[in-house]
Amino acid sequence: MKRLDVNELPWSAEAEQSVLGGLLIDNAAWDRCADLLKPASFFDFRHGAIFSVIGSMVLAQKPADVVTVFERLQAEGQVEECGGLAYLNALAQSVPSASNVRRYAEIVAEKAAHRALMQTADEALTVASGHGSYAEKVDRIATQFASLQQTGLRSMPVRVTDLLGPSCDRYNDLAAGNVPPGVSTGIVELDKALGGGLREGKVIVIAARPGVGKSSLSEQILLSAAKAGHVALFLSQEMERDELTDRAVSNLGGIGFSRLQNGNLTDAEWSRLGAAVDALAKLPLYFDDQAALTLQDIRAKAMSLRRDGLRVLVVDYIQLCAGARGARTENRNAEIEEISRGLKKLAKDLKLTVLVLSQLNRKVESRATPEPTLADLRDSGAIEQDADGIVFLWKVRVYEDRKLIALSVPKLRNGQDGARLGLDFQGYYQRWQISKESIASSGDFGSRGGFDS
């Protein structure tokens, strides 16, 4: 039985070289190919290593030319195996300009996808001819082919309209005022606390301990933006698209979130479900649930919606993001610093608002006072430095039908920081609203309010 010969794998040396040559002479071309390629897309290992270095330098806002890339490769001990200065010079001279880099990248990506298919088919042949029952072999082979979705081209954001059909099927199966200068959050008092809503080019950090509701609040903010006609994208590294869709339907329809998930709805809720689905289908809202996002991934996904007018982006959450090489390293602070700086550049480049969700250090739970401080942001002081605004959330009291959540704004660049609000979180409906309780005068900012769930 003939096995796959590596020499038979499809690739284009010319296309790979032309991509790298275009990037070396024009770093701005990165955004025209980053959504298609990753280092593993290149057949020639030298090209993958060079692409990785160029990408990390561009995303760090450092010039990536023949000399600087040579120095980086030399520092990392890869310069000789990558061909040295002579090969980098040859790459830069292989194309007259970077105008066609997108087309070259498409060729490289297509060849990579075909190689992945051929290699998976070869592995399937090995499984089929090996030991095990027929059912076991079929299951293993199916799993291998399903993995092509991860090893081939990157997943791209999916519009919520395309998710509603399957979500509705699951539901049926389970059951047999004021317009601010920026985009409104949907909560007037929060708009004022942020100095006029969500402004272009700004990064707002929403930080809390796990279970307080930062993901839910940010999704409601996106829903509000989308209802106002703004294109919005939620990048979730914790929740799957189905759960994001369920939360949105629950919020819009006033339908119990847990009841929606198990299909145990009343007649009235079934009626509201149809209206909520219809309303959600009309919104320019996108969900993406790829895990371990790199800065390159985030930028590529945002760029894919640039022509549609992407206005608000949520990254949930920054500590789950991966480094430039696609994995976390021991120097986590440096990685978070690079990601934080890159998100700020992305917000400015695309004129959008980026809501960056962040965890707080566990030590905040052991203090006598519950209000977090800027020192409680995890992993890197860069989060505090790069953010235009920082929002803290923490639990104050838990009632039968709601949780009272305190919100503070300890930092607001070019604005008045120090705002404090009380919010009611109705977890049953995944809804947030301003609380009628007076937080600022209740002493809840100065005494232990509790982190109980």
In DSSP notation, 87-124 reads HHHHHHTS-S-STTHHHHHHHHHHHHHHHHHHHHHHHH
Which residues make beta-bridge pairs with 414? none
Q: According to the model, what pLDDT value does residue 165 have? A: 79
- Which residue from 24, 25, 14, 44 is spatially nearest to 105, judged by alpha carbons? 14
Which segment, 122-126, 237-241, 441-445, is predicted with the most confidence on average? 237-241
What does each C-alpha distance from 251 to 125, 174, 182, 222, 230 come to in angstroms? 48, 19, 23, 12, 18
Where does the chain hold its CATH 1.10.860.10 domain(s)? 6-151
Q: Active-site residue 71, yes or no?
A: no
Query: What is the model's pTM?
Result: 0.71
Q: In the chain, what percentage of residues exceed pLDDT 90?
A: 54
Lowest mean pLDDT among 4-18, 114-128, 135-149, 191-205: 135-149
Taking the alpha carbons at both ends of the chain, their separation in whole angstroms is 60
CB count, 10 Å around CB of 130? 10
Which tens digits make up the pLDDT trace of 341-359?
999 989 998 899 999 999 9
Where does the chain hold its CATH 3.40.50.300 domain(s)? 158-434
For residues 248 and 221, give the distance between their C-alpha atoms in angstroms, rounded to a whole number.
11
- Which residue from 366, 421, 410 is spatially nearest to 384, judged by alpha carbons? 410
Which residues make beta-bridge pairs with 419? 409
Catalytic-role residue among 71, 238, 240, 365: 238
Mention the CATH class of domain 6-151.
Answer: mainly alpha
Which tens digits make up the pLDDT trace of 90-119?
999 999 999 999 999 999 999 999 998 898
pLDDT band at 450 (very low <50, low <70, confident <90, very high): very low
User: Quick one: fold of 158-434?
Assistant: Rossmann fold (3.40.50)
Q: Is 140's pLDDT higher than 80?
A: no
- Half-sphere exposure (CA, 13 Å, Cβ side) for 306? 16
CB count, 10 Å around CB of 402? 19
Q: Is 337's pLDDT higher than 70?
A: yes
Taking each helix axis from N to C end, the angle separating 84-92 and 66-75, rounded to the nearest 10 degrees, works out to: 150
Which tens digits make up the pLDDT trace of 256-300?
888 888 888 888 888 888 899 999 999 999 999 999 898 888 988
- Which residue from 242, 235, 256 is spatially nearest to 162, judged by alpha carbons? 242
User: What's 4's DSSP letter?
Assistant: P
pLDDT band at 192 (very low <50, low <70, confident <90, very high): very high
| Mean pLDDT across 241-255 | 92
Which segment, 174-183, 220-229, 431-440, is predicted with the most confidence on average? 220-229
pLDDT band at 446 (very low <50, low <70, confident <90, very high): very low
Q: Is 156's pLDDT higher than 90?
A: no
Residue 243 amino acid letter: E
